[in-house]
Amino acid sequence: MLIELKERILSNSFVDKVRTHLNFDDEEYQQLRMALIELAKSLQGSSVIDRELMIYLYSAPMIVRNSYESYPEKSDKIAQQLEDAWIELDRLVLECLVD
């Protein structure tokens, strides 16, 4: 189960599309959210997490936040989506790490 979740999370293109194209792919975002929710449930009671997955969990919200911070028009729809996604991803990552 954890291996499958790891693959789903690492192969999700949402963060890469945000970072390279400032493109907000809602479908990929929703898939990433659902995978992180499942991961948080799977990690409950666990004190060990895969290193590669941890690096992704650490960097994904920061990448989205940095994209939001560098976006020229904060009132644009995509800027608002980026801000919401950054906050939500940060929350979901914390749920994965807190027991």
Residue range(s) defining the domain that contains residue 27: 2-97
Q: Whole-angstrom Cα distance, residue 93 to residue 33? A: 10
Number of structural domains the chain divides into: 1
Name the maximum alpha-carbon separation found in the chain: 42
pLDDT in tens, 54-88: 999 999 999 999 999 998 887 799 999 999 999 99
Residue-wise pLDDT for 13-43, tens only, equals 999 999 999 999 999 999 999 999 999 999 9
| Helix, strand, coil shares, percent, the chain, to 5 | 80, 0, 20
pLDDT at 91: 98
State the pTM of this model. 0.92
